[in-house]
Chains A and B, each alone.
Chain A
Amino acid sequence: KNEVEQSPQNLTAQEGEFITINCSYSVGISALHWLQQHPGGGIVSLFMLSSGKKKHGRLIATINIQEKHSSLHITASHPRDSAVYICAVRNTDKLIFGTGTRLQVFP
């Protein structure tokens, strides 16, 4: 079993839909990251969380430390949101990554 599990693996949505991606982890962490990866490989950090909730534009990330669970929400989704979204947890000095959720948003 992977130490970081994401669901769903693939997600398709119509433009405007509300999207939720889930991440569960089984190791002790000091922080959790949500990352976005576009085709071609470039990875961009969206959020770093150690508790509670963060919001940036149409993106919202939450974490429940007791339940070892985090969610990434996208409100009013847009085709430009199409990408792979990766959850990663910080364990000691390194990141442990989930396998990613491939999101496609259609107009």
Chain B
Amino acid sequence: DTGVSQDPRHKITKRGQNVTFRCDPISEHNRLYWYRQTLGQGPEFLTYFQNEAQLEKSRLLSDRFSAERPKGSFSTLEIQRTEQGDSAMYLCASSLERNQETQYFGPGTRLLVL
């Protein structure tokens, strides 16, 4: 257990439905990252926050995806109008803002869109 938790761990949904995932980072960590990992691939960067500010978003993050970190603690990632191609593992990681810091990963949320 790294101290980063994600909820839910698994989600099955029908195409077109909206889903929301939550990440609770290590409490003193001010940076929070979201990644997506498809089967047989390495994770891909989606977005990251420093405190409550969203500092960078990947081109992978279409307008159906939105992430928030309203109080600089937990974060949510919402996918609207899910598509089968959204099926993946969604990973959250947190770190301290410091040069070359280690990121601590959560267990991930596995999404299956039918």
Q: Which A residues fall within an 8 A CB radius of B?
A: 4, 30-31, 33, 35, 40-45, 48, 50, 86, 88, 90, 92-100
Contacts and interface: CB of A to CB of B under 8 A. Distances in A.
A40 B42 contact: no
Contact of B107 (A31, A40, A90): A40
A46 B68 CA distance: 29
A92 B107 CA distance: 25
Interface string B68-109: 000000000000000000000101010000011011110110
Nearest to B55: A93
A47 to B, nearest CB: 9
Contacts of B35: 95, 97
Interface of B: 2, 31, 33, 35, 37, 40-45, 48, 55-56, 89, 91, 93, 99-100, 102-105, 107-108, 110
A90 B100 contact: yes
Given A40-B107, A41-B107, A97 B44 contact: yes
Nearest to B2: A44
A83 B61 CA distance: 29
The majority secondary structure among interface residues of chain B is strand
B30 to A, nearest CB: 12
Contacts, number: 61
A12 B89 CA distance: 25
B6 to A, nearest CB: 10
Contacts of B89: 41
Given A35-B105, A43-B91, A93-B48, 9 more contacts: A4-B42, A30-B99, A41-B107, A41-B108, A45-B103, A93-B31, A94-B33, A94-B45, A99-B40
A31 B91 CA distance: 21
Contacts of B105: 35, 42-45
A30 B108 contact: no
A51 to B, nearest CB: 11
Contacts of B99: 30
A42 B9 CA distance: 11
A41 B110 contact: yes
